[in-house]
Amino acid sequence: MSDWTLDYHGFEPSQEGVREALCTLGNGYFATRGAACEADASEIHYPGTYLAGGYDRLSTEIAGRVIENEDLVNLPNWLCLTFRPEGGDWFNPMAVELLDFHQHLDIETGVLKRQLFFRDHQGRETTLVTQRLVHMVHPHLGAIEWRIRPENWSGRVSICSALDGRVINAGVERYRQLASTHLVPLSSDSPSDDTIRLQVETRQSRLHIAQAARTQIRVAGQDVEGERQIIEESGYIAQETVLDLEAGKEAAIEKVVALHTSRDRAISEPGHAASQSVARAGTFAELYESHRRVWSQLWQRCDVELDGGGRAQMILRLHIFHLLQTVSPHSADLDVGVPARGLHGEAYRGHIFWDELFIFPFLNYRIPEITRALLHYRYRRLNEARHSAREAGYRGAMYPWQSGSDGREESQQVHLNPRSGHWIADNSALQRHVNAAVAYNVWRYYEVTEDREFLAYYGAEMLFEIARFWASAASWNAQRKRYDIRGVMGPDEFHDRYPDAEAPGLDNNTYTNVMAAWVLGRAVNVYDLIGERRRRELGVALGLSNHEVSDWLTIRQKLFVPFHGNGIPSQFEGYEHLEEFDWAGYRERYGDIHRLDRLLEAEGDTVNRYKASKQADVLMLFYLFSAEELGDIFAQLGYPFSGELIPRTIDYYQQRTSHGSTLSRVVTSWVLARSDRRQAWDSFLQVLQSDIEDSQHGTTQEGIHLGAMAGSVDLIQRGHTGLEVRDGMLRLNPCLPEALSGLRLQLCYRGDWLKLDLGEERLTLTAPEGWAGPERIMFRDEIYPFGEGQRLELNYSSEERCWLPNRE
């Protein structure tokens, strides 16, 4: 087994959905699932292609009301390629005897390969070897190569290469009652002998999409024309070629496809751009060569090497691979966000959530240009967020829980419980904490990059408007002399209201309130940081006064945080009155209780009654802040906080969490890294298994879980190295997982690259020649000088528990 390949031996129809998601190829501009070229959408296969930011909205009448949904649109299927011997059927692996089947995804070079040897009903034996890539250099190109060798037969064959725009969005079973036909055919033609072209438009967003496919056939190195004919129907065009094949002689078929849309820059018109791109594209071999070279550069920046990681190494690379396929250096020039389920399927409709929190840290230290672009996606939607805040009676900007094309709230109003068949009101849009995530991401990006221009011109404006929102969401409670934030949902989606309440929403969610306090404090700090001129400019543009800013400080010190029991921060006010849940009983009865909200609803009960969470909520605070930072925030709020509280709080909520979101295990592994290294590693392995083992039983085929994927890499990158930038100082506080004997990675800190080699008891840092980074770094609680060309060797012990390290 290689650390660079995802291998599948044997064809397993029931596994296809997961394999297709995990073998998706993409380049940040578009991605295509790893479905076989000859496969149409069926119960087994789902060949989806998605454009970053390619959305469309449709309305459906459901449960007595008309609801509108915005979806990431499944684009025309460009993979279509198949063949049949004269008098035989079109190739279908399920209708032949498969003598050998091997599929592998080459993670290092970004190529999906398949090797088949089969016998058909007539006894004809054939070898088929296929390769596919989605080009990382020219983001509009995809390419396929098929090599067919008749082993014991000769005869005429037809080869069919098509572009199929008759597809719909049907990748998620739960959404099947919703309107799903997004594409309207525009035209099809054949701009040159070997090229076909298809143009379609999305129904509502009027996104004009053009694909052109050039198909060429070679036998024994010679181009073969064959007898060609074009087959067309509405939304579909195919080129069929008939030629003679000889036993033992291989035919190579190459299909190169270009995809352009009306959102592209620097084009005249998508149809023209597509046929031009494909006419200018090199052969498969040439495309492969440039593609491979760029992937190799990406790996130089992004790889994380584990010593003794076993299969974990391959999975970790698979995660980095899918992250870079969803957002790549090409994203830097696009107006796109990072969808929670990648460009790998239709779950959550390609929407953007708070999952950025888990994704950006990896990018910040590797390709910060991508984070900058993704933050711009938020900045461009600031006006929409301002509008949402106003509509809801707040000030400032209120970002949506789910975001799509224009930044309006895209959360669904009702969702289907597949267990009960009931459509249930969906209140998840009350997760206002997404606003804190946007602000937090702005600040962390700045800390790592020191990108002053971004902070002053874009980041500050977002931060101030979000701070304003929190200030207006906080209401003074004269009785307790504190500010409350009422009527929200925390990250734990199991709780959307008090058990007997009519109206949704909970009061004083600890995570939300502490994050709001942090945002308010950070906004004041940034107000000072951006300098007098920019302060004045923003003051005029936003009508922001010193007085308003000083109010933020007051509110920040007086936000309420509920506690219960022995000083444990409560998930929300009144949490202690909920009933304890019978975890053991339900586990025994159902086995898998990840989604016990659905189980309970189907039983006529509600999870709102219990101390049972879907995912980390309070514990998110320990994930986002070092113990020391959190200590400061609590001190500013006037609440006690001690190192001893951390393990107790972790333990308390760990016992009450079902991990119904893959993000939850990332947080668990992170918070345990310092107290229980073995359990932390077990949780890390569970994070790694989220998609490769489809640990949530059926969700991976609908799209990967990008937050968990990126989070797993960050668990190594920052979690186990204790990497942190605070007060302008790069800090390290390592704690190697017990299962590893070492790890190596490179980090980009404020424009300079740094090598980090972590062994069992020693950390080695190397600054390259020309290092212009900071002259000092902090290791645990000591400051060390660090200069150009220097190699710093630092001894440590992973056994030491250090909750509150890094004290200056």
Q: How far is the CB of 623 from ligand BGC (least distance, A)?
A: 12
Binding mask 385-424 for ligand BGC (x = CB under 6 A): ----------------------------------------
Q: How far is the CB of 431 from ligand BGC (least distance, A)?
A: 8
- What count of other Cβ atoms lies within 10 Å of the Cβ of residue 13? 12
- Whether 493 sits among the annotated catalytic residues: the reply is yes
Q: How far is the CB of 154 from ligand BGC (least distance, A)?
A: 53
Instruction: Give SS3 for 272.
Output: helix
> Under 8 Å CB-to-CB from 714, ≥6 apart: which residues?
358, 361, 362, 666
Binding mask 651-690 for ligand BGC (x = CB under 6 A): ----------x-x---------------------------
| Residue 31 near residue 112 (C-beta atoms within 8 A) | no
Instruction: Out of 355, 484, 573, 691, name the contact with ligand BGC by CB under 6 A.
Output: 355
The answer to whether residue 348 forms part of the interface with ligand BGC (CB under 6 A) is: yes
Q: How far is the CB of 360 from ligand BGC (least distance, A)?
A: 14
Q: How far is the CB of 491 from ligand BGC (least distance, A)?
A: 6
> How many whole angstroms from its chain centre is CA 778?
32
Q: How far is the CB of 341 from ligand BGC (least distance, A)?
A: 7
Choose between 261 and 661: whose C-beta lies nearer to ligand BGC. Answer: 661
Choose between 349 and 381: whose C-beta lies nearer to ligand BGC. Answer: 349
Interatomic CA distance for residues 181 and 501, integer angstroms: 39
- What count of other Cβ atoms lies within 10 Å of the Cβ of residue 58? 19
Choose between 132 and 595: whose C-beta lies nearer to ligand BGC. Answer: 595
Residue 245's closest CA among 95, 86, 402, 118?
86
Residue 573's closest CA among 490, 633, 645, 634?
490
Choose between 172 and 455: whose C-beta lies nearer to ligand BGC. Answer: 172
| Residue 30 near residue 344 (C-beta atoms within 8 A) | no
Interatomic CA distance for residues 134 and 325, integer angstroms: 9
Q: How far is the CB of 535 from ligand BGC (least distance, A)?
A: 34
Give Cα separations from 241 to 162, 192, 267 (angstroms).
11, 15, 32
Task: Give the H or E element holding residue 551.
Answer: helix 546-558
Binding mask 433-472 for ligand BGC (x = CB under 6 A): ----------------------------------------
Interatomic CA distance for residues 405 and 711, integer angstroms: 25
Choose between 167 and 385: whose C-beta lies nearer to ligand BGC. Answer: 385
493, 573, 702, 724: which is the annotated catalytic residue? 493
> Under 8 Å CB-to-CB from 32, ≥6 apart: which residues?
24, 25, 26, 47, 48, 49, 50, 78, 79, 134, 142
Instruction: Out of 11, 354, 622, 623, name the contact with ligand BGC by CB under 6 A.
Output: 354
Task: Give the H or E element holding residue 17.
Answer: helix 16-22
The answer to whether residue 356 forms part of the interface with ligand BGC (CB under 6 A) is: no
Choose between 398 and 743: whose C-beta lies nearer to ligand BGC. Answer: 398
Binding mask 593-622 for ligand BGC (x = CB under 6 A): ---------------------xx-------
Q: What is the DSSP letter of 718?
A: I
Instruction: For residue 155, give both structure tokens.
Output: 């005869």
- What is the SS3 assignment for 741-806? CEEEEEEEECCEEEEEEEECCEEEEECCCCCCCCCEEEECCEEEECCCCCEEEEECCCCCCCCCCC
Choose between 440 and 458: whose C-beta lies nearer to ligand BGC. Answer: 440
The answer to whether residue 707 forms part of the interface with ligand BGC (CB under 6 A) is: yes
Choose between 133 and 436: whose C-beta lies nearer to ligand BGC. Answer: 436
Choose between 599 and 663: whose C-beta lies nearer to ligand BGC. Answer: 663
Select from 189-197, 296-304, 351-359, 452-460 the region that touches ligand BGC (CB under 6 A).
351-359
Choose between 358 and 423: whose C-beta lies nearer to ligand BGC. Answer: 358
| Residue 416 near residue 444 (C-beta atoms within 8 A) | no
Q: How far is the CB of 67 from ligand BGC (least distance, A)?
A: 19
Q: How far is the CB of 664 from ligand BGC (least distance, A)?
A: 8
Instruction: For residue 373, give both structure tokens.
Output: 């672009």
DSSP 45-90: ----EEETT-EEEEEEEETTEEEEEEEE----B---EEEEETTSPP
Binding mask 42-81 for ligand BGC (x = CB under 6 A): ----------------------------------------
The answer to whether residue 26 forms part of the interface with ligand BGC (CB under 6 A) is: no
Q: How far is the CB of 261 from ligand BGC (least distance, A)?
A: 26
The answer to whether residue 511 forms part of the interface with ligand BGC (CB under 6 A) is: no
Instruction: For residue 274, give both structure tokens.
Output: 């597509």
For the four alpha carbons of 407, 413, 416 and 420, in that order, the dihedral sign comes to: positive
Number of helices followed by number of strands (H, E) in the chain: 21, 34
The answer to whether residue 353 forms part of the interface with ligand BGC (CB under 6 A) is: yes
Select from 153-161, 164-172, 349-357, 536-544 the region that touches ligand BGC (CB under 6 A).
349-357
The answer to whether residue 493 forms part of the interface with ligand BGC (CB under 6 A) is: yes
Q: How far is the CB of 707 from ligand BGC (least distance, A)?
A: 5
> Under 8 Å CB-to-CB from 591, ≥6 apart: which residues?
none
Select from 255-263, 326-334, 346-354, 761-769 the region that touches ligand BGC (CB under 6 A).
346-354
CB burial of 542-567 (b: ≥16 within 10 Å; e: otherwise) equals bebeeebbebbeebbebbbbbeeeee
> Under 8 Å CB-to-CB from 102, ≥6 apart: which residues?
7, 8, 9, 114, 115, 116
Select from 109-117, 348-356, 389-397, 417-425 the region that touches ligand BGC (CB under 6 A).
348-356
Residue 663's closest CA among 625, 606, 613?
613
Binding to ligand BGC (CB under 6 A): which residues in 313-342? 340
Interatomic CA distance for residues 684 and 687, integer angstroms: 5
Choose between 654 and 658: whose C-beta lies nearer to ligand BGC. Answer: 658
Interatomic CA distance for residues 314 and 320, integer angstroms: 10
> Under 8 Å CB-to-CB from 642, ≥6 apart: which residues?
none
Q: How far is the CB of 340 from ligand BGC (least distance, A)?
A: 4
Interatomic CA distance for residues 693 and 6, integer angstroms: 12
Select from 86-94, 353-361, 404-412, 549-557 the region that touches ligand BGC (CB under 6 A).
353-361
Q: How far is the CB of 736 from ligand BGC (least distance, A)?
A: 29
Instruction: Out of 28, 48, 491, 504, name the contact with ligand BGC by CB under 6 A.
Output: 491
Choose between 491 and 569: whose C-beta lies nearer to ligand BGC. Answer: 491
The answer to whether residue 120 forms part of the interface with ligand BGC (CB under 6 A) is: no
Choose between 158 and 661: whose C-beta lies nearer to ligand BGC. Answer: 661
Interatomic CA distance for residues 621 and 637, integer angstroms: 15
The answer to whether residue 631 forms part of the interface with ligand BGC (CB under 6 A) is: no
Binding mask 738-767 for ligand BGC (x = CB under 6 A): ------------------------------
Number of residues that bind ligand BGC (CB under 6 A): 12
Please report, as ranges, the residues that interact with ligand BGC according to CB under 6 A. Answer: 340, 348, 353-355, 491, 493, 614-615, 661, 663, 707
Active-site residue set: 493
